[in-house]
Amino acid sequence: MQEEQTHFGYESVDVNEKVGRVREVFRSVAPKYDLMNDLMSVGVHRLWKRYTIMASRVKIGNKVLDLAGGTGDLTRVFAGRVGASGHVVLADINEAMLAVGRAKLEDCGVFNVDYVQANAEELPFDDHYFDCITIAFGLRNVTDKEAALRSMYRVLKPGGRLLILEFSKPAYPLLSKLYDQYSFHVLPRLGQWFAKDAASYKYLAESIRMHPDQETLKGMIEGAGFERCRYTNLSAGIVALHEGCKI
């Protein structure tokens, strides 16, 4: 019996193979992840994340899940916002990314965070626990996105909010062409020069193109049960912030 297929960038692979291959990509890029984010986006990723934090409306006492949180950029800010009475969990499927995130946050004096290695498709948390879930630049790497969205819905409290920050479809054809040139010609070279890994950054560029566009992802979020779903294009649609509420 043939295994079910999914995509790994532009390559078709068995569903059971993708998780391991994505894990290897992020194990490879983890040591240079923050540097490469700054180089690839010319620092603009910090503005996208700042917008996400503002949109989250996280406050003192909240419980927050930073899913696929990597090196903890969002977690660090959330930990300050929720205070001692709140709870922040940095979760990632990749142990190397979690290790880098933990070391980075502890170096910054952030200790009120729990670190959990978890698959977004099967979150190991109680029902109706979190006030807010964020997933920044992680959903496109999930094999079964619908299962992950249902899992996020389950662990959110009624009234809780989901925010998905992800690369998306540029709003203008000319921008889309320029973005393709950058992604497939410049990005792998940056990966080779600064991280000694062109292949992983080639995969990351391909994974962006295989990710659902703005309207498709909005429909998927609604299909998982979320309401009041909307998205905001950032940088002319190169990135979009999707939001949904659990009523």
Does residue 26 contact residue 96 with C-beta atoms inside 8 Å? yes
Give the Cα separation of 163 and 43 in Å (integer).
21
At 238, list the tokens: 């190169």
Give the Cα separation of 93 and 95 in Å (integer).
7
Give the Cα separation of 169 and 210 in Å (integer).
10
**Is 92 annotated as a binding-site member?**
yes
**Is 120 annotated as a binding-site member?**
yes
Element (H, E) at 162: strand 156-167
For residue 160, give the 3-state DSSP assignment: strand
Distances in Å between the Cα of 181 and the Cα atoms of 12, 213, 226, 227 are 23, 19, 36, 37
Give the Cα separation of 245 and 247 in Å (integer).
6
Please give the annotated binding residues for S-adenosyl-L-methionine, written as ranges.
71, 92, 119-120
Please give the annotated binding residues, written as ranges.
71, 92, 119-120
